[in-house]
Amino acid sequence: MAVAAVVFDMDGVLIDSEQAWADAREELTRERGGIWPPGTQERMMGMSSTEWSRFMHDELRVPMEPEEISEAVVERLARRFRDHLPLLPHAREAVERLAARFPLGLASSSNRPIIDLVLEIAGLAGSFRATVSSEEVPHGKPSPDVYLEVARRLEADPSACIAVEDSTNGIRSAQAAGMRVIAVPRPDYPPSAEALELAAVRLDSLAELTPRVVERAATTA
């Protein structure tokens, strides 16, 4: 199969941001008198902004409207990223290496303002031909919506696209869209063993992500 495009996730793949998201959400929740049970961040991973802000309102008892919750969390996160963008090792090189060979897309659960801010600060905005936030589609990950929309904007058959993911819901989302998946697991929020079984290729680091690996993933059953 010829590779039509490579689609990256952002949080946990390009930036080490899961803890930053957790901190911003937990701070707001506790400041407003809500609850934060163990495992809360893991439950929200992959949700779109409309989904996790509703979850914070309904389940964590944050006494704000979901839209206000989303805006407040994004504002906190944007301040953190302007002070320090936690770009993961080899992320910029991996993107630039693959952009020289394939059309690139980005399928992220982050809000649109965060996607644009991260790519601008990282100097990678020009490397991606299409970027989609899950807040722009009906359902967040693990539903395939965000990956299908990226493929549509790239005018690429999803079955000819390779996704680069780190999380359980992200892997399931890309696989459900018909894409083969390269998994680059994060040790702090590792995907489930069942999700990893869905990946065509598993890497320890983005340093290993090369055009040859992408082409190998395309031919792996």
Respond yes or no: is residue 11 known to be catalytic.
Answer: yes
What pLDDT, on a 0 to 100 scale, did the predictor assign at position 221? 63
| Distance, CA of 111 to CA of 153 (rounded, Å) | 18
Q: Compute the distance between CA of residue 168 and CA of residue 151 in angstroms, rounded to an integer.
A: 20
| Residues in the chain where the model's pLDDT stays below 50 | none
Tokens of 67: 């839209």
What are 97-113's pLDDT values in tens digits?
999 999 999 999 999 99
Could you give all domains of the chain from N- to C-terminal order, each with its CATH number? 5-16+87-218 (3.40.50.1000), 18-83 (1.10.150)
pLDDT of residue 18: 84
Predicted structure pTM score: 0.91
Residue 58 among the catalytic residues: no
